[in-house]
Structure 1
Amino acid sequence: MRVPVGDGAVRWATRGKCLRVLVVVHNVTSATRLLDVLPLFDGDLRIQLLATCPESSAFSAGTAELLAGTGVPVLPWEQAVETPVDLAVSASFGGQLELLRGKLTILSHGVGYTKRLAAPNTGPGTGTGAGADPAPVFGQAPQWVLANGVPIADALVLSHPEQCDRLRAACPEAAPTAVLAGDPCFDRVLAARPYRERFRRALGVRAGQRLIVLNSTWNPESFFGDGGAGGDDLLPALLPRLAREFPVDEYRFAAVLHPNIWHGHGPGQVRAWLDRARRCGLVLIDPLEGWRQALVAADAVVGDHGSVTFYAAALGTPVLLAAAPLHELDPGAPVSDFMREAPRLDPREPLREQIDRLIEHHRPLPGPAAYTTSVPGEAAVRLRTLFYSMMGAAEPEWPASLDPLPLPGHEPVSVTAPLHVLTRVPSPGEVVVTRWAGSPPAAECAGGEVHIAVHEDTRDVDQLELADVIFRDGLPDDPRFGSPAVWTEEVLQRHPGCALAAFTVGPAECVVRLRGGKPLRLLSSPETAVDPTAAASALHALLGAGEAGGDVTATRLAKLVADGGFAVRVGARRVRMRVVGLHPG
């Protein structure tokens, strides 16, 4: 690179007298924490941001693309270690950081430093078995924090005094570099709590639904891992059970996976692994941007020994552990205490009962909230003071602040797996609807009628010929479908076994057509709405479509219109649906 630093900088740079701040990005995981603090330099005309990647991480895939997206000039590592800077900021170790020419501060990329991880060129360490040589604790042990007996960092940022105590015990030489400056990531999460309902709506969670976040760190013994040598692999049996045991209108699932899973195996592979679960309604959260909002929105988290699960517990969210390999953790770290005390998932027992019991009887453990940060809300002020003091520069006159968590884009519910719909009619004009994206437990179906509802875009195309209800969603003026009225007519013509077609045009409205009938609108209040396709199945049950004769169906429909509609019960919710005529177009 020749400009803004390099051989041509003096000649070509427009603002060449800036203080240089070098951001050292090992991988996408560390980038998430560095992006938290970059806004502390916003607006300061004295600062030139630079970035580099040591390419020492096994998980460096995706890092170059991420850095390009920031718009910050990226130096090759060879040039970075030859370029004098006023401050270097990293969120990881490794890659010969001691070669950098400037003051170095290192942030944590988790809840302090808790995991055992072999340092480069020190052997793997086992951490298990009698007499085994455990791997050193990442970010605490001399193998990680010293180079030639000297601390690598000029400032090692920690979020709680207990982390300082463990550092002092593990590596006294590095203890003077410890700086208590809080946790900027968790501060952003805390500040976002007032927007919980917005985040839930963005994730497609409706009133009365429970959002369950599945969270996994990386490595074979994590929740998402295959268990390694001799371990158990939970996922092949667990994922299909989510579809069979949890009604789609009462529960919403989202997966938050560690970036090292995404970039260790490839984003395309992760999506392929979870394809069937996604077609059953699972939302796969972006590893860079959306996971904190999902934590704020969650009703419960099924997780493991990673930092995200600990953050969830610190928020007071109920946590169920699907994996807890204590031998991988520093036994003196608070996360180890949490792993010993938190409830465990039992894969042999019904999952829904465990989740419901977890939520209804939840009592937060005090450790996570107490030990995540000792100075909540203060990270921006403390970190900016640290950064500028290390550069020997005065801080800007405006207050230090972090970016608020952005509102994610809307993730509408998209279940394209065939739905098994159980309906009961406890009284005239009222239908209880329960829908599963897999074969429901036989005991659940006693005393009701079951029909099949299938999304038009299903990959299980053979099920379209067996469907009683076919549905899709879209904009009412989308020219590809002509109009909802045109689409419903085409579907009924194409699939002679289908009794009702439903086109969802909004969160509280769909257009339906019965075989031989005119198009109708089903409407409810947006604030309390159930999925309109569930209401379409309720209408199918009320009218006895496919069983009653045409005259009987028409009479029942006329009565529904005259009565002002009908009621749908989904879980604990009861919603009134209006039936309104629609002129075909």
Structure 2
Amino acid sequence: MRDDVRERVPGRVRVGTPGRVRVPVGADAARWVTRGRVKRVLFVVHNVTSATRLLDVKPLFDGDLRVQMAVTCTGSSPFLAGVPELLAGVGLPVLPWEQAKEEARGFDVVISASYGGELEVFEGKLVVLSHGVGYNKRLAAPGAGSREPGAGSREPGAGSREPGAGSREPGAVALAAPAAVAPVFGLGPEWLLHQGRPLATATVLSHPEQLRRLRAACPEAAPTAVLAGDPCYDRILEALPHRDRFRRAFGVAPGQRLVVLNSTWAPRALFGDGAEDRLSWLLTRLTSELPADEYRTVAVLHPNIWYGHGPGQVRAWLERARRAGLTPVDPLEDWRQALIAADCVIGDHGSVTYYAAAIGRPVLLGSFPESDLDPESPVAALGRAAPRLRASDDLRRRIAGVIESHDPRAYAALAELTSSAPGRSAALLRNVLYRMMGLPEPAGRPALLGRLPLPAHQPAVRTAPVRVLTRVLRLDPPEVAVARYTDPAYEPEDAEADAAHTVVHEDTSDASLLENADVILRGGDPDDPRLGPPGVWADEVASRYPRCGLAAYLTGVDRGIVRTRGGEVLRLAAAPGGDGRADLCDPAAYVSGLYAWLGDGHGVPAELTVVTGAVRHRVVVERVVASR
């Protein structure tokens, strides 16, 4: 067999035209399938963002032996990076776009979450979902108003419904027309009609306010509208009772506030470098001005940022902030859990910030280009209601003020506009999809969406230098206040502090900082053979860095081993909380409390209370090796 017609992939040999699928669809698929008397569902993916919305509804078909699912990618979006890996992880048959179009008649229902590619070939069976919280962003139509620029082609470049030159992707740069003239993405005839007829059989909307705007913008498509709620929002609502678990997963300690930095994509988004590059000062200030033990910071960025610029580049841009304790959140899996766990979201005009407001979280707008939005949209209403963040603000005071003054009912009206059927999208969507397939819904089985998984434990990791201000509060029993600031641009101010020291992680990017560190620490498994027992590691550090006053090996979320300059080896362990759970305060704070206590001329205590903000941590101190 010729090499050019054979492609080896894991678990399968494909024969014929390279890339084409022969099972479970194809001209001779009947010869090879095990289950052939099925209804066929095709998911049409444009990019990672739209794919995640399609995956929200995939569980509606789970467990049904009468349904075969497949997926295809139009290739029309400039944001194609990440799509192959995502689809490989889903495990459904992946059809080349040309094959999917050729075999359009073989599918019973086709589901898309964006516009792009020749979707008209699926006439009579196309369902279009929103890939955001409704339709909000204005976008100038390409080709001087033509619905099909470039001689009618919907392929990339010439008349694509996806971004590119004259992009139709929401948030794209090309807002050539005034905002009052530019149509709203997903509501205008530029996207909804083909040769004057509706493209979709069912245009899924989440609220009647979208239907009102649809009727005004494109009355020809109004008969296709289906009010079926918002599955993404419903997944968030279902998981709200697990907020405390999500907070612990992100390493948020009792008394600590979780600040979520959120950005959609495009130059005027919060992450963008449009008219004002807010990110250039915000990233640094978030980690350096907020006390590390009172605030936890994570970043939720739009997939188009990750996959447009490349995950490696985005991580490089975030590297300094990451080393200072900011955690980039998985853009596919964990962003909803981060919103639920948040105490404040610093965001912009994207859907994620709106979802945060809809579930009652305090929102602070770092960027909000009103002209990019339909003024009648719910997201525009959020821009009129939410407070703004400015470079001149005292960041800590501004965030604290927004949190403390927030009324959970402040955005109740916006929450109502998110979905007219909260908690019911699964049932409504399944009914629509099965009716289109001509198949009765599974008897006796409720329609269910996938539940949000518990994220992996991901506490802040600080390898940047930390400046620590301390104050001995009491001598008997010993009590020390600790305030830690990561990589500050200037010396932190605290009129009540009576001492300060610098902590440097052994894995700091600048090894020269270790020479003058007061405390050197690292974390890890105490049995890691590469480092040796914690006491041995500490001896090596003390020998290598003679100015180091304490060497600390953190062995767990609430404990560690410390070696003093005098050679004593001590075990620190925080007492559990009242609920029996481990204290999630960074144990590096306990090390700094001990350093301040010993530096004030006191001996090793049997117990030490370390105060971070308004929270008190009882730390037991045990000698492991006698002084030598």
TM-score (norm 2): 0.88
Does the 8 Å contact 1:320/1:343 carry over to 2? yes
Matches within 5 A, 1:109-508: 109-119=131-141, 121-122=143-144, 124=166, 134-227=181-274, 231-363=275-407, 364-397=410-443, 398-428=445-475, 429-439=478-488, 441-444=491-494, 447-508=497-558
**Equivalent residue letter for 2:615:** R
Match of 1:78 among 98, 114, 125: 98
Q: Which residue of 2 aligns with 1:50?
A: 70
**Equivalent residue letter for 2:517:** A
Q: Which residue of 2 aligns with 1:23?
A: 43
Does residue 536 (structure 1) correspond to residue 558 (structure 2)? The answer is no
- Provide the C-alpha distance between the structure 2 equivalents of 1:499 and 1:350, rounded to a whole number of angstroms: 34
Bigger Cα displacement from structure 2, 524-533 vs 256-265: 524-533
- Provide the C-alpha distance between the structure 1 equivalents of 2:36 and 2:267, rounded to a whole number of angstroms: 48
CA spacing shift, 1:57–1:81, aligned 2, 3 Å: same
Local SS of the residue matching 1:421: strand
- Provide the C-alpha distance between the structure 1 equivalents of 2:366 and 2:227, rounded to a whole number of angstroms: 32
Deviations 1:4-46 (A, max 9, x none): 1113301111112211100001000001111110000001111
- Provide the C-alpha distance between the structure 1 equivalents of 2:199 and 2:175, rounded to a whole number of angstroms: 29
**Equivalent residue letter for 2:77:** S
CA offset at residue 532 of structure 1? 1.2
Does the 8 Å contact 2:139/2:184 carry over to 1? yes
Does the 8 Å contact 2:471/2:496 carry over to 1? no
Deviations 1:204-255 (A, max 9, x none): 111111000000011100000001xxx1111112221123211111101110
CA offset at residue 367 of structure 1? 2.8
Deviations 1:522-569 (A, max 9, x none): 111233453211111111111118xx5xxxx6xx11xx12xxx11110
Does residue 36 (structure 1) correspond to residue 59 (structure 2)? The answer is no
Bigger Cα displacement from structure 2, 127-136 vs 138-147: 127-136
CA spacing shift, 1:416–1:190, aligned 2, 3 Å: same
- Provide the C-alpha distance between the structure 2 equivalents of 1:18 and 1:583, rounded to a whole number of angstroms: 70
Q: Which residue of 1 aligns with 2:128?
A: 106
Does the 8 Å contact 1:311/1:368 carry over to 2? no
**Equivalent residue letter for 2:439:** A
- Provide the C-alpha distance between the structure 2 equivalents of 1:234 and 1:344, rounded to a whole number of angstroms: 12
Does the 8 Å contact 2:139/2:183 carry over to 1? yes
CA offset at residue 427 of structure 1? 1.7
CA spacing shift, 1:367–1:129, aligned 2, 3 Å: farther
- Provide the C-alpha distance between the structure 2 equivalents of 1:165 and 1:56, rounded to a whole number of angstroms: 30
- Provide the C-alpha distance between the structure 2 equivalents of 1:55 and 1:530, rounded to a whole number of angstroms: 47
**Equivalent residue letter for 1:350:** D
CA spacing shift, 1:292–1:350, aligned 2, 3 Å: same
- Provide the C-alpha distance between the structure 2 equivalents of 1:218 and 1:130, rounded to a whole number of angstroms: 20
Deviations 1:452-504 (A, max 9, x none): 10111110211111111111111122111211111111111111110111111
Does the 8 Å contact 2:334/2:455 carry over to 1? yes
- Cα RMSD, aligned residues only: 1.8
CA offset at residue 418 of structure 1? 0.3
Question: Percent identity among equivalent residues?
Answer: 58
CA offset at residue 116 of structure 1? 1.4
- Provide the C-alpha distance between the structure 1 equivalents of 2:179 and 2:592, rounded to a whole number of angstroms: 60
Structure 2: which 5+ residue stretches go unaligned? 1-20, 146-165, 168-172, 578-582
- Tell me the number of residue pairs that the alignment of Structure 1 and Structure 2 aligns: 568
CA offset at residue 441 of structure 1? 4.9
**Equivalent residue letter for 2:614:** A
CA offset at residue 128 of structure 1? 7.3
CA offset at residue 122 of structure 1? 4.8
Structure 1: which 5+ residue stretches go unaligned? none
CA offset at residue 344 of structure 1? 0.5
Does the 8 Å contact 1:29/1:259 carry over to 2? yes
Does the 8 Å contact 2:123/2:201 carry over to 1? no
CA offset at residue 516 of structure 1? 2.6
CA spacing shift, 1:289–1:442, aligned 2, 3 Å: closer
Does the 8 Å contact 2:139/2:174 carry over to 1? no
Does the 8 Å contact 2:45/2:51 carry over to 1? yes
Matches within 5 A, 1:540-579: 540-544=595-599, 556-557=603-604, 560-561=605-606, 565-579=607-621
- Provide the C-alpha distance between the structure 2 equivalents of 1:179 and 1:21, rounded to a whole number of angstroms: 19
Does the 8 Å contact 2:287/2:326 carry over to 1? no
Match of 2:576 among 520, 526, 538: 526
CA offset at residue 443 of structure 1? 3.0
CA spacing shift, 1:323–1:152, aligned 2, 3 Å: same
CA spacing shift, 1:419–1:432, aligned 2, 3 Å: same
